[in-house]
Amino acid sequence: MKKETYEKLDLDVYTETLDNGLRIFLTKVPRNEIHARITSLYGGSILEFKLKGEKEFTKVPAGIAHFLEHKMFEKKDYDPLQIYENNGAFANAFTTENITSYYFTGVDKFYDNLNNLLRCVSEPYFTDENVEKEKGIISQEKKEDLDNVYYIVKDKAYENTFHNLDVKYTVLGSLDDINSIKKEDLYKVYNTFYQPSNMVLTISGDIDINKTMEFIRDFYNKKDLKEKIEIIIKKQNEPDEVVKEKEIIYKNNKTKEIFINYKIRKNDVIKDKYTSRVYLNMYLAMNFSGLSELSDITTKDKNFLSGISGHMFEIDDFYILSFNATVKDDAQSAIELIDKTLKSKDFEESRFNLIKKVNLSSIILSTENPSEICSMLTNQIKIYGRLITDMHSKLLNLNFKDFKTFISELNLKNRSIVILESKKGD
Amino acid sequence: MKYTKYDLGSYNLYTVVTDRFKTISLSINIRLQNEKEHDKYMPMLWRMLINTSSHYNSLKEINEAAVSIYDPYYSIRFVGSGLQDTLCLSASFINEKYTERGMNEKSIKFLSDFIFKPKINNEMFDEEMFEIQKAKLIDYYISVKDYPREYAESRIHEEMNFFGYKEYSLDEIIEITKKLTNKELYNFYKKLINEGKLDIFICGNFDPEEIRKIVKKNIEFNGNNEQKPKHIIEQNTYNKKPRVIIETSDNVQSILIIGSKAINMTSFERKYVSLLYSWILGGSTNSLLNQRVREKNSLCYYIYTNRKNLIGDFKIYAGINGEDFDKVYSLIKDELNNVKKGNFTDSLLDSVKHTYYHTLKSIEDYQNDMINSTISEVLVDTDDIKTRRKMMEKVTKEDIMNFAKKVHIDTVYLLKGDRK
């Protein structure tokens, strides 16, 4: 076990990698609650893969990572959620494009809860019957998204942005995908991606570090685990261009919902991955946050029923800058405003420094509660493969000139627009 | 968890000291007794207060000022709490121990000025912003139909008459908002400031005396501190034969809400039994409704209960297929009867109690929870945390069964999706 310390954040992280490859990160913080999270570094955007030594790639239906997340709570002779509830703990799980996480937050009976968490992800139990039962439940979860105007435009925009990357499919999959999933698919995905070497365990709260680490070691020492096998993800060649530049979806709606993806191939102007991501987020903040002129424009323009929200997403060799807005009737002028604002690179250094200050404040706050700490540690391992313990000094050293150079190299030509509106006459 | 009360004349300040956080949380609450008319003013008022400032000319300038004091988080909302209508500013800012000396005062002044020093000219709010926000609010009301869960909630609330009067329908509130004038809104603001009851709550690692001086120096208020506001509304009637309302929508999923009223609750039931009743029915994955409707019959992804104990409001929410309505409704009624008959396990009762104890212990882990817990002790007569635990331990299965007999389905609302 070794200790890594986050500079200026009063945060020590105790880490260890077990023989089976599981990476463990423990932090002691003064809270009554303990949050523990185990994460498979596998999410909804990987559908073709094989283990080293296998001849053929396996292709699985979209939505399988999320389906598997549901089914991991089903056991032959016990109910993990019942155990948590009996202990007064709250537990859940979630799946994103990149990861699947299982977690609990509890005050009492920590080791019982931790044992339950580790068992939950180590003991798959899939039958034809329990897989069939879950289809009705997940279909209802999907139907909620099908009625949500934000998800309708977002999901369509991703479908229209990517030719080959599996991120074009939603994390939940389509209703047809959900209904096509079989227990054999689930076991295949489980046996590939839930190897401890593809998982990360983070725990934060009022814990005894040594005792906790010992408990985890003991748990896995008792398991008959197969050797670590390398996972090979099928490389998909993705062109720079989007599939479809514009699409209008019709739904009986009172307002218009807009979603735009700018598809940008990564450049190597900034070598440090953490810094380049920060610069991209600062780029969005410079032009689209409350510190930009845009906040007054959208507040005063009666056409805008929401502000314009911008997000950065990274997948494969691409950055995706996504924008969403709800407007009363004029979608075109909103799209033009987003485009013009994004392409405005006449940055002020004073605003750059203000946003730097905001970023410094936000990382101080990111260590305020156990679940946020676990989330930060897990994300850093997934994205960077290591803890960014020097993030405070990286933020302090951000440089306006480097920022401008990095941003000036971004190619903003490829974009996909989706608009949801009522058919005329509806 | 202890708080200190300071009587500052026309208002009260409550401080909660804790060294567990790098931030300080602030909650400013101005309350008026509930009136139907408040729904006409409050949504416009908070929009005006948060989007304008007597010190700054634009939102960009407001936001720059915020960043210069290390970017506090803040929001202004209109909160209905039983018979009280509250304008509430909630905020959190980094303690000056982690930034620079003087930032606590600057933050408190910056935040409180949104409420107490709005941009007013000739006894009116900023004219341009008033017209813009009015138009946007009307469009917001119109667009509620685009959000099925929100629309269904507004429809059943409108039908159930919890407050003894018929609440504005969406169409009515749109027409009323169209006619609202700037002068009327300003008069309402004056009424709030002159007749409302102000309570301020601050939680963090600070010297309470220093905070008292900062608050006293920066917040002037002339409202009424003598009021003893009443929060609880007793429900006396319900539809003996539940009213079933079915509307169609251009959605795939159907939204079912079953609205019940609790009649003649005792104080013990209102504070304790009703919560466990609600959680046993639909508060967790192992709740009766979740097990029966979701896990055993695969009829939904979500089904849960929500209770507003101050007004005796108990609702069950589920997203289902429209054609399954009869089956789901029948299963729900069956489970409601099961609670009345005591057909639930002791272990389920124990587990919801444990969940409650957990929430009590975790209050100290979240500043907002510490503030909210203090607010409810001070304003809503909630017991202190130790008493809450003791009282909850006393709740028996019989208490739950007896309480279940007081809960009556009043209105069933189905927003039926007919989109394929």
- What span, in angstroms and rounded, lies between the C-alpha atoms of A299 and A82? 48
Residue A226 clears pLDDT 70, i.e. is over it? no
Residues of B in contact with A300 (CB under 8 A): 128-129, 132
Q: How far apart are CA A354 and CA B264, in angstroms?
A: 56
Are A85 and B285 inside 8 Å of each other by CB? yes
Query: Same structural domain for residues A349 and A210?
Result: no
Site of tokens 């005050």: A107
The C-alpha angle with vertex A22 and arms to A18 and A24, in degrees rounded to 5, equals: 85
Summary count for chain A: helices (H), strands (E): 15, 15
Same domain, A50 and A134: yes
Q: Give the pLDDT score at B294.
A: 97
For residues B208 and B277, membership in a common domain is answered with no
What are the structure tokens assigned to A392, written together? 């405070």
Inform me whether the pLDDT recorded for A53 exceeds 70. Answer: yes
Contacts of A326 in chain B (CB under 8 A): 143
Which of B63, B350, B352 comes nearest A291 by C-beta?
A: B63
Weakest mean pLDDT among A113-122, A169-178, A216-225, B31-40: A216-225
Last residue of a domain, one of A205, A233, A261: A233
Same domain, A258 and A229: no
- Best of A83, A361, A363, A421 to disrupt the B interface (most B CBs within 10 Å) is A361
Q: Please, are residues B14 and B4 in contact by the beta-carbon 8 Å criterion?
A: yes
Per-residue H/E/C for A225-243: CCCCCCEEECCCCCCCCCC
Tokens of A95: 């799946």
B228 domain-assigned = no
Chain A residues in contact with B67 (beta carbon < 8 A): 291, 354-355, 357-358
- The pLDDT confidence band at residue A223, using thresholds 50, 70 and 90, is confident
Residue B225 lies in a domain: no
Q: Which residue of B has its CA nearest to A291?
A: B60
Q: Are residues A253 and A226 in the same domain?
A: no
Domain boundary among A190, A205, A233: A233
With CA atoms as reference, report the closest residue to A259 among A248, A251, A274, A243.
A248
- Reported as a pLDDT band with limits 50, 70 and 90, residue B418 is confident
**Whether B64 and B190 share a structural domain:** yes
Q: Which of A179, A202, A233 is the endpoint of a domain?
A: A233
Three-class DSSP category at B389: helix
Query: Residue B164: left (phi > 0), alpha (psi -120 to 50), or beta?
Result: left
Dihedral sign of CA atoms A238, A239, A243, A246 in order: positive
Between chains, do A149 and B67 touch, taking CB under 8 Å as contact? no
B143 and A255 within 8 Å at the Cβ level: the answer is yes
Distance from CA of B292 to the nearest CA of A (A): 12
Same domain, A144 and A273: no
The answer, yes or no, to whether residue A55 has pLDDT greater than 80, is: yes
Q: Which domain holds residue B37?
A: 4-218
Residue B364, in any domain of the structure:
yes
Residue A425: the pLDDT is 61
In a domain, A37, yes or no: yes
**B47 and B155: one domain?**
yes
Per the CB < 8 Å rule, is A302 touching B51?
Answer: no
How many domains does one find in chain B?
Answer: 2
Residues A53 and A201 in one domain: yes
Asked whether residue B201 is assigned to any structural domain, the reply reads: yes
Q: Taking CB atoms and an 8 Å limit, are A140 and B320 in contact across chains?
A: yes
Residue with the bigger pLDDT between B152 and A366: it is: B152
Q: Do A144 and B347 touch (CB under 8 A)?
A: no
Tell me the pLDDT band of A59, cut-offs 50, 70 and 90.
Answer: very high
Query: Which of B146, B151, B174, B302 should one mutate to test binding to chain A, selecting the residue with the greatest count of A CBs within 10 A?
Result: B146
Pairing of strands A199-205, A23-28: parallel
Is A222 inside any structural domain? yes
- How far away is chain B from the Cα of A354, in angstroms, using its nearest Cα? 7
pLDDT band at B225 (very low <50, low <70, confident <90, very high): confident
- Calculate mean pLDDT across residues A110-125: 97
Pairwise CA distance, residues B295 & B304, whole Å: 13
Same domain? B254 vs B149: no
Q: Which domain holds residue A270?
A: 246-421
Is the per-residue pLDDT at B98 higher than 90?
Answer: no
Residues A32 and A110 in one domain: yes
Residue A57 has pLDDT above 80, yes or no: yes
A318, A267: one domain: yes
Residues B102, B201 within the same domain: yes
Rg (CA), chain A: 23
The residue among A112, A295, A299, A308 with the most chain B CBs within 10 A of its CB, best to mutate, is A299
Q: What's the whole-number mean pLDDT along residues A14-31?
A: 95
Nearest to A243 by CA among A261, A229, A226, A258: A261
Structural domain tally of chain A?
Answer: 2
Q: Cβ separation of A81 and B21 shorter than 8 Å?
A: no
B contact test, residue of A28, A105, A140 with most B CBs within 10 A: A140
Residue A241 within any structural domain of the chain? no
Contact (CB<8Å) A291/B64:
yes
User: Searching chain A, which residue's CA lies closest to the CA of residue B284?
Assistant: A85
**Given an 8 Å threshold on Cβ–Cβ distance, is A254 in contact with B366?**
no
Count interface pairs A-B at CB distance under 8 A: 163
B410/B310 same-domain check: yes
Contact A358 B71 (CB under 8 A): yes
Q: Which of A254, A293, A365 sits opposite B146 (nearest CB)?
A: A254
Is B352 in the same domain as B288? yes
Residue from the list A254, A326, A368 with its beta carbon closest to the beta carbon of B23: A368
A159 and A255 both lie in a single domain: no
| Cβ B246 vs Cβ B322: under 8 Å | no
Q: How far apart, in whole angstroms, are the C-alpha atoms of residue B182 and residue B128?
A: 10
Nearest to B319 among A107, A144, A251 (CB): A144
Q: Is the pLDDT of residue A224 over 80?
A: no
What pLDDT, in 10s, does the model give residues A357-398? 889 888 888 888 899 999 999 999 999 999 999 999 999 999
Looking at the predicted structure, is the pLDDT value of residue B172 above 60? Answer: yes
Min distance A256 CA to chain B CA atoms (Å): 10
Strand partners, B246: B414
Count helices and strands (H / E) in chain B: 16, 13
A146 with B20: Cβ contact below 8 A:
no
* C-alpha dihedral sign at A69, A70, A75, A81: positive
Note the pLDDT of residue A276.
95
Long-range CB contacts for residues B100-106, cutoff 8 Å, separation at least 24: B103/B69, B103/B70, B104/B24, B104/B206, B104/B210, B104/B211, B104/B214, B105/B214, B105/B217, B105/B218, B106/B69
The pLDDT of residue A426 is above 60: no
Residues B275, B169 share a domain? no
Q: What is the CATH number of the domain that holds A268?
A: 3.30.830.10
pTM, to two decimals:
0.93
Span B296-320, average pLDDT: 97
Mean local confidence (pLDDT), A264-292: 93
For residue B292, give the DSSP letter.
I
First to last CA, chain B: 53
What Rg do the C-alpha atoms of chain B give, in angstroms? Answer: 23
Instruction: Assess whether A342 and A370 both reside in one domain.
Output: yes
In a domain, A214, yes or no: yes
Structural domain contains residue B179: yes
Dist CA B375 CA B86 (whole Å):
12
If asked whether residues B318 and B412 sit together in one domain, one would say yes
Give domain status of residue B235, yes or no.
no
Our CA-based measurement puts residue A121 at a distance from the nearest CA of chain B, in whole angstroms, of: 18
Shortest CA gap A90–chain B (Å): 8
Tokens 């939603």 appear where? A170
pLDDT of the residue at A225: 66
Q: Are residues A253 and A392 in the same domain?
A: yes
Whether A238 is in a domain gets the answer: no
Contact B358 A365 (CB under 8 A): no
The CA distance from A108 to B362, in Å, is: 11
Asked whether residue B237 is domain-assigned, the answer is: no
Residues B410 and B329 grouped into a single domain: yes
Look at A300 and B250 and tell me if their CB atoms are within 8 Å: no
Answer yes or no: is A239 within a domain.
no
Question: Which residues from B are below 8 Å from A82, CB to CB?
Answer: 286, 351
Q: Is beta strand B407-417 parallel, antiparallel or unpaired with respect to B243-249? A: parallel
Provide the CATH number for the domain around residue B74.
Answer: 3.30.830.10
Confirm whether B72 is domain-assigned: yes
Same-domain check for residues B210 and B349 = no
* Residues B209 and B114 reside in one and the same domain: yes
| Average pLDDT across chain B, whole number | 95
Cβ separation B301–A354 shorter than 8 A:
no
Is the domain of A255 the same as that of A229? no
Tokens read off for A206: 């009022």
What phi and psi, each to the nearest 5 degrees, are found at residue B361?
-65, -30
* Six token digits for residue B334: 């069956």
Considering only CB atoms, which chain A residues are within 8 Å of B252? 143, 146-147
Out of A88, A140, A304, closest to residue B358 by CB:
A88
Q: Any alpha helices (H) in B101-241, and if so which ranges?
A: 103-116, 127-143, 148-160, 170-179, 182-195, 208-218
